[in-house]
Amino acid sequence: MNRFIPPLLAAAALMAASGPSAAADKELSCKLTFTSRQWSAVYSSAEGEGTVSCDNGASLPVTISAKGIGLTAGKWKITDGTGKFTHVSAIEDVLGSYLAVSGDAGVAKAGTAQVLTKGKVSLALAGKGEGFDLGIAISDFKIAKRAAEAK
């Protein structure tokens, strides 16, 4: 019976090697740069656009939008927004809806920071902007592939 153990071990090693490769499991380092305009008065809304770029050279133009409800009032724009994704294995992993809970109190030339989640993928946002905001809101933050621009 002992003579069957080495072939069994070899077969198990082959099956393990034929599974998902280490390269497929490697996480990408991806970043978002964006601009947006936002307003709120109980209901909040934001729209903008940006680019996601990853350390493997992949790049994707995107639109961002957020819709939410809460006790808020304000109007502002983010002109120098950045974001860092975690747990991304392909650039397409960044697309979709994220849950955002925010509490803000800011005035002109204020900054913002927020952490959003979508399953295992997280996005930490930061930005500088102008305007004012006061309140707390729960939002649905969406990142979508930007449509090709007409020439």
Which of 92, 91, 130 lies closest to 111, judged by CA? 130
Q: How far is CA 107 from CA 32, 90, 100, 101, in A?
A: 24, 37, 21, 19
* Residues 82 and 129 sit within 8 Å (Cβ to Cβ): no
Q: Is the pLDDT of residue 150 over 80?
A: no
Q: What is the mean pLDDT of residues 107-126?
A: 76
pLDDT of residue 5: 40
Which class does domain 22-145 fall in?
mainly beta
Q: Please state, rounded to an integer, the average pLDDT across all residues of the chain.
A: 75
pLDDT of residue 102: 60
**Secondary structure (3-state) at 87:** coil
Q: What is the mean pLDDT of residues 86-105?
A: 84
Q: Where are the domains of the chain?
A: 22-145
Q: Is the pLDDT of residue 91 over 70?
A: yes
